[in-house]
C-alpha cells in the first residue's frame, strides 16, 4: 500500500472515530474541502467548525471503502459508502467518490467528495 | 500506463467521439452502467439505446480527466469534468467521479458515475 493510500486510510479511520482532534491532526492549515454539491470550505478553522458539527449528529460512523487507488501525482481516489448512525435513530447512507491530496508533511490539503445531494437530503428528512 | 488505464482512456476518447458504434465495440454484452443518481442500465442493448439518445444531443463532447488511477483489483477510478456542447447552443458541464471495470477480453463490464443530479438538471433547463 502506497504512503498516500496509507494516509487516506488513516484519515478515513479518524473520520469514523468521530474524534475531531484526531481528524484535525491529519489536516493541513490550508485545507481545501469541497463537497462538490456545496460551497467549498477553506482553512482548518472553518473545516474544524463545520465538520465537528456534522460529526456530532452521529453515534457511529462507518465509511466502507471498497476501492482506493493512487494517481500519478500522489492524489488518492476512493469509492465509498459513508454510513452515519444518527443520534435521532435514523441511518444515513450515501454513495460517494472522493479524492484526497496531501502535502510534503503528509497532511491533507485537498479533499473533494462527489455525491448526489438529493440522496443525502432525502435521508436527513 | 496500465492496461486498464489505457482501456479507460480509450473508452473516454470513444465517448468524446460521440460515435455509438465505436463506443459499443468497447462494451461487454452484460454491461452494468450506473449513473448513481439514476436507475442503473443493464445489458448492451439498453446501454446503446439510452447512451445514443443522450450523445445525440451534443455537437461536441469533451471529458477532461485530470486524475485517473487503477485500484488493486484492476478497477480504474477517474475524476473528470464532462462537457457537452449541445445542439441547442447551451453548454452542459458536470463534475464527475467514475469507476470503470473490464472483463478478461478488455471490454467494459461495470461503469459507475457519481455526480450531483441538480448540477446536471439545472443546466439542462
DSSP A38-87: S--EESHHHHHHHHHHHHTTEEEEEEEEEEEEE-TTS-EEEEEEEEEEET
Complex prediction ipTM? 0.96
Contacts of A9 in chain B (CB under 8 A): none
- The candidate with the shortest Cα–Cα distance to A33, out of A98, A77, A78, is A98
Q: For every one of its 125 residues, what pLDDT tens digit does chain B have, with 9 covering 90 and above?
A: 799 999 999 999 999 999 999 999 999 999 999 999 999 999 999 999 999 999 999 999 999 999 999 999 999 999 999 999 999 999 999 999 999 999 999 999 999 999 999 999 999 87
Task: Tell me the HSE value of B41 on the side-chain side, using a 13 A CA sphere.
Answer: 21
Task: Please report, for residues A10, A77, A109, B15, the alpha-carbon distance to residue A4 in angstroms, rounded to integers and kept in the order given.
Answer: 10, 10, 12, 31
Contacts of A98 in chain B (CB under 8 A): 97
Looking at residue A19, its pLDDT comes to 97
Is B86 in contact with B70 (CB distance < 8 Å)?
no
For residue A34, name the pLDDT band (cuts at 50, 70, 90). very high
Is A113 in contact with A124 (CB distance < 8 Å)?
no
Question: Residue A32 CB: number of other CB atoms within 10 A?
Answer: 16
Minimal-distance CA residue of chain A relative to B70: A69
Is B44 in contact with B29 (CB distance < 8 Å)?
yes
Contacts of B117 in chain A (CB under 8 A): 116-118
Flag if A97 and B95 touch (Cβ within 8 Å): no
Residue A116 contacts B where some CB pair is shorter than 8 Å: yes
**pTM of the full predicted structure?**
0.96
Residue A57 contacts B where some CB pair is shorter than 8 Å: no
Is B47 in contact with B17 (CB distance < 8 Å)?
no
Minimal-distance CA residue of chain A relative to B116: A116
- The candidate with the shortest Cα–Cα distance to A95, out of B104, B19, B23, B114, is B114
Amino acid at each position: 500500500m502506497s504512503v498516500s493510500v496509507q494516509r487516506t486510510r488513516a484519515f478515513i479511520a479518524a473520520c469514523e472515530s468521530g474524534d475531531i482532534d484526531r481528524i484535525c491532526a491529519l489536516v493541513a492549515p490550508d485545507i481545501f474541502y469541497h463537497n462538490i454539491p456545496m460551497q467549498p470550505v477553506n482553512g482548518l478553522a472553518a473545516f474544524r467548525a463545520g465538520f465537528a458539527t456534522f460529526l456530532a449528529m452521529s453515534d457511529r460512523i462507518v465509511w466502507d471503502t471498497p476501492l482506493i487507488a493512487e494517481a500519478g501525482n500522489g492524489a488518492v481516489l476512493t469509492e465509498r459508502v459513508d454510513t452515519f448512525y444518527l443520534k435521532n435513530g435514523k441511518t444515513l447512507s450515501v454513495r460517494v467518490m472522493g479524492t484526497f491530496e496531501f502535502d510534503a508533511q503528509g497532511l491533507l490539503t485537498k479533499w473533494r467528495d462527489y455525491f448526489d445531494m438529493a440522496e443525502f437530503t432525502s435521508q436527513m428528512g
